[in-house]
Chain A
Amino acid sequence: MELFTNDIIDTQNLPKLESIPFTALNSKYGIVIACNLALIIGVLTGGLFVLAELEPDVFSNRIWFIIGVLTPLSLLLIVCFAIIGFKKKGFAFREHDVVYRSGIIATNTIVIPYNRVQHVALHEGFVSRFLGLAKVQVFTAGGSASDIEIPGIEKEQAENIKQLLMGKIQKQL
């Protein structure tokens, strides 16, 4: 039998969640976000322009003016949020768990211990594939709210992460 110990844990000296150095997402992922934004902005403004050309009588001039002012403002806001959101996303693979931080207004930090991971998926978006990026999704039994999705990781690193997670799951059994 192993030597059994049952010392008091010093809760003050446990590894602290708040002092983790988070790894930022790959800067190339910024291009993916920019592409998505360009698509959204393109479709929105394009749609408005087409509408303005073909059926200018749908709205009165005053409303067109309001739309003309509000659209650029809201698009600017979307872009700002996207940039802040990108900057605030970060992840960390600790010895025993994976931590992901995200959020613009609220900072959300989600932790999954490796021994609670159910399975892992790798996603490669169309644009991401050209840049050699992938998204790692970690599933637990706790439903969709408790899954972690880490975008913007280099393909090779993502494969390694997947292997690491699978290895960790394996080891605990």
Chain B
Amino acid sequence: MRTDFSQPQRQSAVGIWVLFFYTLQQYARAFWPIFLVFFFRLKNFYLGYIFGVIGLFLVLIALISYLKYRNFTFYLDEENQEFIINEGILNKTKTAIQLNKIQQVNINQSFIQKIIGVYELQVDTAGSNKKEGNIKAISQQLALDLKACLLENEGKERILGQNEPGTAAEFESNTTITPFIKISFFSLLKVGITSNYQRTIALLVLFFSTVFESLSKLSDQETGYEQDFGAYFDYSQGLKAIIMGFFMVLVAVLLLNIIRVFVQFFNFNIAKQKGSLLLSYGLLNSKSTIVKPEKVQITTVTQNYFQRKWGILDIRIKQATGGAEEQRKSAIEIPGCDPTERDAIFQLLFSKLPEKGIEFIPNYRKLVFGLFIAVVIPVALFFGLANTFFPEIMEYVGWVPFYVVLMIVLQYFKFKNYRLYIHPEFIIKTSGAWDVSEAIILPQKIQAITTSQLFWHKKADIGSVILHTAGGNISFQLANYTVLKEHINRWLYELETSNSNWM
């Protein structure tokens, strides 16, 4: 017999215990410092007092969990096709979820729930990271019934959609499909050599600073008569050591990079299947992923100077998934494509090649602000500290001009590459100083739009926009606000007049 869920009902009565333990955990976590202080202060008091306090605390928690239990109800509104959860003791919340928006219903059991013999039911809709509806204590039968009820209203296709191949096992049965792109050994080698420069540079800086420091210590020790000769001797030797060390570090970092790329992406195959992309890669444990064009939210193409010369680029794809948490966060990466392969992938994802439309150039203030943050503040901080608390850092003053020049160049390129292109069918944002990336989204993937303007930018008519998609946000700052708003109005018009599918 099916349970009737149309009347508001509470969780299992034994579930109060689950709530009790969860609440205890929550409050203990929040208040443990206070307890600690309390007990240290009360060392000399008699034991009964301490037990009294603990007892009072537990009774309070029990009361809270009972009230939580009393105030938590859920029901199915048949008429409006909604699942409704009411909760909260003082602050009340009523969550209403449309049945056809429900993507997944998970039934779990934690350790505490296992002891008490109840289950947890989580209702998940598309996109956002947290679970929208969470019933902490429910009997197994009820959980299964509710799950069936919640999912039965869903279109058949949706249920089928969840069972589409997406697992490695299913994929293996399809390995007969010939890959249409194969990232070659040589391309991966190029990727290994040219990527992850930030990490490389950071390591090099670390190395240099230690060498420099030990050298300066060495020359400090040389005092007296032989100073000149000794300093010269050390210097030439030190220079050799630096150059040797530099190359060794460079080689080591490159080797590490290459190994990392090979382990991660060895034998990277891309195959087409029913309009989806099947990716398989990996040296030690091979992974396979499916990219469905309709689920793709943000596609990013990244290329740096060397990679451009060598004709390779990196594609990252962010999908809207209803799957595991980790899967949502990480983008799918296709390393070492050449431009023709990129075009083939784009053809499949967008059924045409992305075009750059009207160009938006950020206001000069963007550059000024970047320079302020990256140059003015750190330099001011350096001199400020050198003149007050840490006079010894004045030694490194010679590095300041290098830093300033490097930062100015970086900020200039960052500004130069910071662009937004709006085409009727594509929105492309480019950014980055060294690794220049191009993020591509389709206007119909937009979930919401935020516009923002500082009050002192009103006169200059500049403002910012954030386009929210199910795979992350794309933001662009300090653009011409009037023109930007025209496009926002158009996007909204297009979103609202059509029922375009975003996943």
Contact = CB atoms under 8 A, between A and B. Distances in A.
A121 B95 CA distance: 4
A18 B485 contact: yes
B499 A172 contact: yes
Q: Is the interface of B mostly helix, strand, loop or mixed?
A: mixed
A125 B486 CA distance: 38
A172 B501 CA distance: 12
A112 B447 CA distance: 7
Interface stretch (B85-93, B179-187, B399-407): B85-93
Contacts of B93: 121-124
A146 B470 CA distance: 10
B114 interface: no
A111 interface: yes
Given A17-B488, A141-B470, A166-B82, A97 B496 contact: yes
A21 interface: no
A17 B96 contact: no
B451 A145 contact: no
B448 interface: yes
A87 interface: no
Contact of B450 (A18, A124, A145, A170): A145
Contacts of B117: none
Interface in B10-42: none
Given A106-B452, A116-B447, A145 B132 contact: no
What is the size category of the interface that chain B forms with chain A?
35 or more
Interface string A39-66: 0000000000000000000000000000
Interface stretch (B49-57, B120-128, B218-226, B307-315): B120-128
B96 A113 contact: no
Contacts, number: 162
Interface string A1-43: 0000000010110111110000000000000000000000000
A122 B86 CA distance: 9
B222 to A, nearest CB: 48
Contacts of A124: 88, 91-93
Contacts of A172: 499
**Residue among A9, A109, A141, A144 having the largest count of chain B Cβ atoms under 10 Å:** A141
What is the size category of the interface that chain A forms with chain B?
35 or more
A109 B496 contact: no
B81 A170 contact: yes
A115 B446 CA distance: 11
A166 B101 CA distance: 11
Nearest to A107: B453
Interface of A: 9, 11-12, 14-18, 96-97, 103, 105-116, 118-126, 129, 139-148, 162-163, 166, 169-170, 172-173
Given A106-B452, A145-B450, 14 more contacts: A17-B492, A96-B496, A111-B448, A118-B126, A121-B93, A123-B91, A126-B90, A142-B447, A142-B448, A145-B468, A146-B448, A146-B473, A147-B128, A169-B101
Interface of B: 80-82, 88, 90-98, 100-101, 125-129, 132, 320, 446-455, 466, 468-470, 472-473, 485-486, 488-490, 492-493, 495-497, 499, 502-503
27 contacts: A14-B489, A17-B488, A17-B489, A18-B485, A96-B492, A106-B454, A108-B450, A110-B448, A110-B449, A111-B492, A112-B447, A113-B495, A116-B446, A116-B447, A116-B495, A118-B132, A121-B96, A123-B88, A124-B93, A141-B127, A141-B128, A141-B320, A142-B128, A143-B128, A144-B128, A163-B80, A173-B100
